[in-house]
Amino acid sequence: MKKLIVVALSLCSWSALAAPEGTISVHILNQQTGLPSSGVKVVLDKQEGVNWKHITDGKTDAGGRIKSLYPSDSDMTPGIYRVTFQTGDYFKSQKMDTFFPGIPVTFNVSKNNEKLHIPLLLSQYGYSTYRGS
């Protein structure tokens, strides 16, 4: 019985330390077409000193979204993070040139597992982003 309680408590504390689904989400909308940008690779890194540590990456779905970019098996701790929208291949697939083949967005996480949404409004020669909800 004691072993069962210890295992149950261990599982509870492990799940409490894991990032909840949707901790970091992104959405890309192509401003020129008004349509979502699907198939765009998005890379997530965390700053460690002067270097960046790769956390994960994913591709936007048909709606231009990645609903949960941060891995759900670990805790997202405070620090400086960066998502890089790798838009060069997306524009190439659309048979379009672009001035920005990659768009890095650096942001601050101030609380453990803080829920953040990073939208990107995209065109061939410009973009805008903000802290979404």
Confidence of residue 11 (pLDDT cuts 50, 70, 90): very low
Average pLDDT over residues 42-52: 97
* pLDDT at 1 exceeding the cut of 70: no
* pLDDT at 7 exceeding the cut of 60: no
| Residue at 129: amino acid letter | T
Confidence of residue 69 (pLDDT cuts 50, 70, 90): very high
The DSSP element (H or E) to which 88 belongs, if any, is: helix 87-93
Beta bridge partners of 46: 53, 81
Find out whether 113 and 76 touch, Cβ atoms under 8 Å.
Answer: yes
Rounded-to-integer distance, Cα 112 and Cα 117, Å: 15
